Amino acid sequence: MSDDRTPAQIEADIIRRREQLALTLDEIGVRVHPKTIIGDAKARVASTVDETAGRAFVAVNRVVTDVRERFVAEDGSPRLERVLPVAMVAVGVIGLLAVSARRRKD
């Protein structure tokens, strides 16, 4: 195998490769540093929490929209045929709870 490079070219290649190796080692040092590892882990956790919170928001928003569509007409007025029975049931449940709490006191 013949090498047509001059000693100066070989020396320049060695210097260049040494500099590349030093940069690579510096990058590895940064990647394995505990602060970097912790920062990456925190970023992953934050991303997961954001994603989970986003999914929860979408799910809750969907439920609220569905409930709203059932109890509010397109013009924004309440659908009394649906609101009144629910309100009556709620009043009944609250009344039963009040009577039950009063009986427990006695």
pLDDT of 2 = 62
Instruction: Give dist(CA 5, CA 16) in Å, integer.
Output: 15
Q: What is the pTM of this model?
A: 0.47
- Over the stretch 50-86, which tens digit does the pLDDT of each residue have? 999 999 999 999 999 998 899 998 898 999 998 899 9
Provide the domain count of the chain. Answer: 1
Q: Quote the Cα angle for 65-69-75, to 5°.
A: 120
pLDDT at 106 over 90: no
pLDDT digits (tens, 9 = 90+) for 15-58: 999 999 999 999 999 989 999 999 999 999 999 999 999 999 99
- Domain extent, residue 105, equals 79-106
Residue 94 lies in a domain: yes
Task: Classify residue 99: in a domain, yes or no.
Answer: yes
31 inside domain: no
Within a domain: residue 45? no
